[in-house]
Amino acid sequence: MLARRLLSTWPMLRNLARARRTAQWAELKSILKRWLVSVLRPGNRSSSDGIGGNNKSNPRPPALFRMAAGYWLSQAIYVAAKLGLADLLKDGPKPSRQLAAATGTDEQSLFRLMRALSSTGIFVHYRNDCFALSGLGESLRSDVPGSLRAMVITLGEIHYQAWGSLLHSVRNGSPAFNTVFGTGLFEHLLRDAEAGDAFDKGMADVSSMLACAVIMAYDFSGISSIVDVGGGDGTFLQKILGVNPEIRGTIFDLEPAITKAKQRLDGETVGGRCSAVAGDFFDSIPEGADAYFLCGVIHDWSDECAVTILRNCRKAMAQNGRVLLVEMVVPDGDASCFSKLLDVNMLVMTEGRERTRAEFSALLDAAGYKITKIVPTLAPQSVIEAVPGTSELTICH
């Protein structure tokens, strides 16, 4: 309806008629066609993409433009996370001047940021320039389960900088991160304490959510011991052990991560059933467990490196042991799926990749396993269960 009203106005018709006699007509016609398709497409009046909400007096720009400008929103969310605005609003609405004073920012500039984020549903804009936290924005708080604040910060800093050189990765097939920062991701995180801390906190928050999804989806019966390979600060494993009192566990990672894990273990109560061991999974892995969890580990590495890690797990596991990968499984064809965009992130950040079911099967086969189950969870990730030798594949629904 809006498009018809605009096109029926005399000035627009007059200008279009005039343009038809100029060299710009072909270009104008093409742009107009794309604009009309965008305006008239089903669901165009929603603001689900968060860029430029639509209303009668302020129609949205073309869909492709909104997609290309997506980083405007991502960086605005990053700044809100970095400033801790959600934490400041957890007890109720506050005026922008009070928020500016608390964050040491320019009042008018902060107001403009908050107004923009309110238009996307992250904050709520009241009269007298007061702002409140929305349900969506709750995840930016640092003190809530499922917090995404730390992850948003690491995405807005090292990921954002590396993605600026995506063209390098596409042209050369190598991580743009290494070119931007002069070293690989994990080396940089060890060297830059602030970046490493934000990354570790973000991964711990994600691990906590993934653990809950895995707990609800996977059958742990028959497992008495677990090694969490690349387990970071132990968040994932401790969640698993917390609801499976018959299982003992070991967190295994490099020394810096294990130091943090031991600090967490001092304050956690899992009945003394969890230990933390430092080491390098490219060399060897603690022996004798029934199950070896690799949560978001394999996608960080090339096929060659991933096979080495998986073979080391196979050497270490007890008889009748299993390996459990918590990873996204990329669907075949052109189905829309976040894993396909995450795969490009892995191209930019590391030498890893997201994999299809067939690629996981080939990878595990090369390491001496066969997939026995792929268990979907409430998260985008699935649990891929594999055992040494030959077994039949089961897809759980």
pLDDT in tens, the chain (397 residues): 444 444 444 545 655 665 676 655 665 565 556 555 544 544 443 444 666 655 666 777 888 999 999 999 999 999 999 999 999 999 999 999 999 999 999 999 999 999 999 999 999 999 888 999 998 999 999 988 888 999 999 999 999 999 999 999 999 999 999 999 999 999 999 999 999 999 999 998 888 888 888 988 899 989 999 999 999 999 899 889 888 889 999 999 999 999 988 888 876 656 688 999 999 999 999 999 999 999 999 999 999 999 999 999 999 998 899 999 999 999 998 888 999 999 999 999 999 999 999 999 999 999 999 999 999 988 899 999 999 985 444 445 4
Same fold, 70-140 and 216-395: no
The CATH topology of domain 216-395 is Rossmann fold (3.40.50)
* Catalytic position from the list 159, 168, 188, 299: 299
Domain ranges of the chain: 2-43+59-68, 70-140, 216-395
Sign of the dihedral through C-alpha 93, 98, 99, 103: negative
For the question of whether the overall pTM of this predicted structure is more than 0.85, the answer is no
The matching CATH number, chosen from 3.30.1300.10, 1.20.1260.10, 1.10.10.10, 1.10.1740.10, for 70-140 is: 1.10.10.10
* Closest of 294, 313, 323, 315 to residue 223, by C-alpha: 323
What is the rounded CA–CA span in Å between residue 155 and residue 81? Answer: 11
What is the rounded CA–CA span in Å between residue 24 and residue 43? Answer: 31
Identify whether 188 is a catalytic site residue. no
Please list the alpha-helical segments (H only) found in 137-294.
149-154, 160-163, 166-172, 176-181, 185-191, 193-217, 235-242, 255-267
